[in-house]
Amino acid sequence: MSKPTLKEPYRTLEHQVVETMMAAYKAWGLEFPKSYSDYQACARALIEMFDIKRRPLAFKIPLERDDEQQA
């Protein structure tokens, strides 16, 4: 069943979040969710709960293991 379409600018933001999630799944070697609407549900939950803006970070998000590798 087709899901309702968001109005702009949320439609574009949703698409960008979904594309980012798909790339992350691929980078982590994880199985993809069963359908695109699974991604949409996650993206819409993020958009509703947080002030999401598309702006690439100028730095890599630090991981705890990064500290261990430097020691």
Structural domains of the chain, count:
1
d(CA 23, CA 17) in angstroms, rounded, equals 10
Give me the pLDDT at residue 3, please: 77
Q: Which residues form the domain of 34?
A: 1-55
Position 46 in a domain: yes
Q: How far is Cα 47 from Cα 6, in angstroms, rounded to an integer?
A: 11
Asked if residue 21 belongs to a domain, the reply is: yes
In sequence order, which residues have a C-beta less than 8 Å from that of residue 36 and are 6 or more positions away?
18
For residue 17, the tally of other CB atoms under 10 A from its CB is 19
Can you give the pLDDT at residue 1? 65
As a whole number, mean pLDDT of residues 26-52 equals: 87
Identify the pLDDT of residue 33.
79
Compute φ and ψ for 65, nearest 5 degrees: -65, -20
pTM of the model: 0.68
